[in-house]
Amino acid sequence: MSAPTVTAVNGDWAETIERLVAEKIASRIAAKDATVWGPEAESESAIRLNWVDLHETSRPLLAEIEALLADLRAEGLDRIVLAGMGGSSLAPEVITKTAGVELVVLDSTNPSVIARALAGDLQRTVIVVSSKSGGTVETDSQRRVFVKAFADAGIDAASRVVVVTDPGSPFEKLAADEGYRKTFLADPNVGGRYSALTAFGLVPSGLAGADIAELLDQAAEAAPVLQADSADNPALLLGAVLAGSPGRDKAIITADGTDIVGFPDWAEQLIAESTGKNGTGVLPVAVKGLHAPELHSNAPDITNALLADKATSDVPTALTSGSLGGQMLLWETATAVAGYLLGINPFDQPDVESAKKAARGLLDAQPEPEAAAFTDGAVEVRATEGLLDGVDTVKGALDSLLSKLGEDGYLAVMAYLDSERDENLISIRPALSSRTGRPVTFGWGPRFLHSTGQYHKGGHPQGVFLQITSSESTDVEIPDRPFSFGTLISAQAAGDAGVLADRGRPVLRLHLTDPAAGVEQLISLLDAPDKSEDGGA
Ligand SMILES: O=P(O)(O)OC[C@H]1O[C@H](O)[C@H](O)[C@@H](O)[C@@H]1O
């Protein structure tokens, strides 16, 4: 174990830290003082601060999880599938990847992803259905399709479903009505993206075999350091680098070279949803390796926040170290501190609902899909008004989108594809960044809607958007729903594009009529490097 540390270089945050210490921000957060973020945020903050001592309050869960794990193993049930979006799956993903244990994370509505998860060995499978609200359409749809698949395979479905939810949610009732195997009720006074050390993080990770007691020990070791009103408090320093570096509103994040695997994706949701609102915030840009072009840029609007020991450029940089449980508490505290510095409420996500609402509207109305402006190879092209004037190739369309990128702009690639099958597409991220000299985010849809989706709509209005969708050879029906996964993912993509367009953002929509050929076409068009060489996802 090692308590978290932060070293900051290429900047001077002494004044900011002095102010944070004088205002006793660290100890007030630790004492769950809901007034830290101002009167408007107070009612929300009052029901969102129980993450500060989860290393103590989550202890009783360990024995419960341990007992269930022993029962499942005795029955030969060792394939754990997690259905959950955003805060209900990102923490278990990083915890299990870091621990090197197998967890099938299902946070997609792409029919190819769902079909693959269903094709696994159901005789050994248990599904953990995780949703704080108990109303997330992706999670409920995944639950439905698994329950049917178990029944079709002659398995008692109820015995294979474990639910994690908040008390009083529709899932709590459903689990009781259906007699599901076990329900874990989480602490409702912790928001989704702060829930790593609640039942949401611990149940799936523990059932998959990760050492969750150790994770709590790591957080316990970190807590006193992070709660001190001291200039040496690493959370104050990380918060200051993220939100107190003037003019710098984009943070490039990587965990390359540490034994923590996948940390940037978790941190991305934490920072994007917590800060990206009211036209301000910090755009987290998760990159895979230290070779990522953004990490060698000296652009005046970026900072770096790295789980690494050396800065890679001259921009303000925070270098963090420590074990996973401590890092999680460090970044959570730093994000709350960043919220204070930005003058926003870090515990709401006011713009996430807009895309959900647009998708629901499309699912209800089921309109004819908008005709493509043109087709080039395996790619149908659509775009917001004006973007395709005089353009009839994918290359021309991309040039047109990139020409809208301001000098403080960023590009968001939003791929509603199969993250395993289409993994190579990630190589267009560093290629686009090299080409434009600007930060590029890459999100798999609909997963990113529960993460950077908030920032794209609520943060600084500087983004230009490249949406990529696909025609899939198989679709998967959702039991007792008037739409399939194929219809759902199309509505989610179209709905989000519509919301971004309504907010005046340029959106280029590329639809791959054949995913393999389309991915290949885009990679060669952008001359994207071999993923393994660059490592810069
Ligand atoms: O856990 P759930 O209620 O299903 O929510 C899952 C996710 O969905 C929402 O869109 C929020 O923006 C996320 O913060 C949340 O983590």
Question: What is the full DSSP assignment across 191-208?
Answer: -GGG-TTSHHHHHHHHHH
State the helix-helix crossing angle for 90-99 and 199-208, rounded to 10 degrees: 30
Whether residues 285 and 328 fall in one domain:
yes
pLDDT of the residue at 256: 86
Q: Is 222 inside a domain boundary?
A: no
**Nearest atom within ligand 1 for CA of residue 353:** 10
| SS3 of residue 302 by DSSP | strand
Give the nearest ligand 1 atom to 139 CA.
Answer: 4
pLDDT bucket at 530, cuts 50 / 70 / 90: low
Last residue of some domain: 342, 373, 399?
342
User: Are 481 and 358 in the same domain?
Assistant: yes
- Look at ligand 1, atom 14, and give the residue with the nearest C-alpha: 192
360 shares a domain with 320:
no
Separation of CA 241 and ligand 1 centre (Å): 27
Q: Which protein residue's CA is at the shortest distance from atom 7 of ligand 1?
A: 86
Q: Specify whether 513 is located in the same domain as 462.
A: yes
How far apart (Å, rounded) are the C-alpha atoms in residues 52 and 435? Answer: 42
Write the residue with the smallest CA distance to atom 11 of ligand 1. Answer: 450
CA of 193 to the centre of ligand 1 (A): 8
In-domain check, residue 347: no
Instruction: Please report which confidence band the pLDDT of residue 369 belongs to, taking 50, 70 and 90 as the band edges.
Output: confident
Decide which of 193, 215, 237 is a domain's last residue: 215
Residue 395 lies in a domain: yes
* 449 C-alpha to ligand 1 centroid (Å): 9
- Supply the pTM of this predicted model: 0.97
Q: Tokens 């393999």 correspond to what residue?
A: 516
Q: How many domains does the chain have?
A: 3
Bridge partners for 470 per DSSP: 512
- Are residue 246 and residue 330 in the same domain, yes or no? yes
Domain boundary (215, 240, 263) is at 215
Same domain, 183 and 233: no
349 CA from centroid of ligand 1 (Å): 9
Residue 128 predicted with pLDDT over 90: yes
Same domain assignment for residues 105 and 170 = yes
Average confidence (pLDDT) over 361-389: 95
CA of 87 to the centre of ligand 1 (A): 6
Mean pLDDT of 226-245: 98
Digit-coded pLDDT (tens) for 329-350: 999 999 999 999 999 999 999 9
User: What pLDDT, on a 0 to 100 scale, did the predictor assign at position 533?
Assistant: 39
pLDDT category at 30 given cuts 50, 70, 90 is very high
Per the structure block, which two tokens stand in for 23? Answer: 């205002």
Environment class of 280 (CB within 10 Å of its CB; exposed 0-12, middle 13-18, buried 19+): middle
Q: Is residue 394 part of a domain?
A: yes
Q: What percent of the chain has pLDDT over 70?
A: 98
Of the candidates 295, 307, 302, the one whose C-alpha atom is nearest the C-alpha of residue 234 is: 307
For ligand 1, residues with CB inside 6 Å are 85-88, 131-133, 136, 139, 192-193, 273, 349, 352, 450
- Sequence-distant (6+) residues with CB within 8 A of 172 are 134, 163, 165, 166, 183, 185
Q: Whose CA is nearest to atom 4 of ligand 1?
A: 131
Q: Are residues 129 and 89 in the same domain?
A: yes
Q: Which two tokens stand for residue 153?
A: 């395979």
State whether 155 and 257 are in the same domain.
Answer: no
525 & 386 share domain:
yes
Residue 123 Cα to ligand 1 middle (Å): 30
The answer to whether residue 532 scores a pLDDT higher than 50 is no
Write the CATH number for 244.
Answer: 3.40.50.10490
> In sequence order, what DSSP letters do the residues of 38-104 get, joined into one string?
-GGGHHHHTTTBGGGGHHHHTHHHHHHHHHHHHHHHHTT--EEEEE--GGGTHHHHHHHHHHT---E
Question: Domain limits at 188?
Answer: 58-215
- Ligand 1 mean position, distance from CA 134 (Å): 9
Mean pLDDT on 428-441: 97
Q: Is the pLDDT of residue 535 over 70?
A: no
| Residue to substitute in 131, 136, 277 for testing ligand 1 pocket (most ligand atoms within 8 angstroms of CB) | 136
- Measured CA to CA, the distance from residue 140 to residue 155 in angstroms comes to 20
Beta-strand (E) ranges in 146-198? 161-165, 182-185
- The C-alpha atoms of residue 459 and residue 439 are separated, in whole angstroms, by 15
Q: How close is the Cα of 528 to the center of ligand 1, in Å?
A: 33
CA distances from residue 523 to 383, 396, 490, 518 in whole angstroms, order as listed: 20, 15, 23, 9
> Would you say residue 221 lies in a domain?
no
End-to-end CA distance of the chain: 29
Residues 327 and 391 grouped into a single domain: no
Domain-located, residue 188:
yes
**92 in a domain, yes or no?**
yes
Residue 169 and residue 256 in one domain: no
Tens digits of residue pLDDT in 68-106: 999 999 999 999 999 999 999 999 999 999 999 999 999
CB 51 within 8 A of CB 195: yes
Q: pLDDT tens-digit profile of 239-296?
A: 999 999 999 999 999 998 899 999 999 999 999 999 999 999 999 999 999 999 999 9
168 domain residue, yes or no = yes
Distance (Å) from CA 309 to ligand 1 centroid: 33
Atom of ligand 1 nearest to the CA of 200: 1
DSSP letter (8 states) at residue 190: B
- Ligand 1 nearest atom to the CA of residue 169, by list position: 3
pLDDT given at position 529: 65
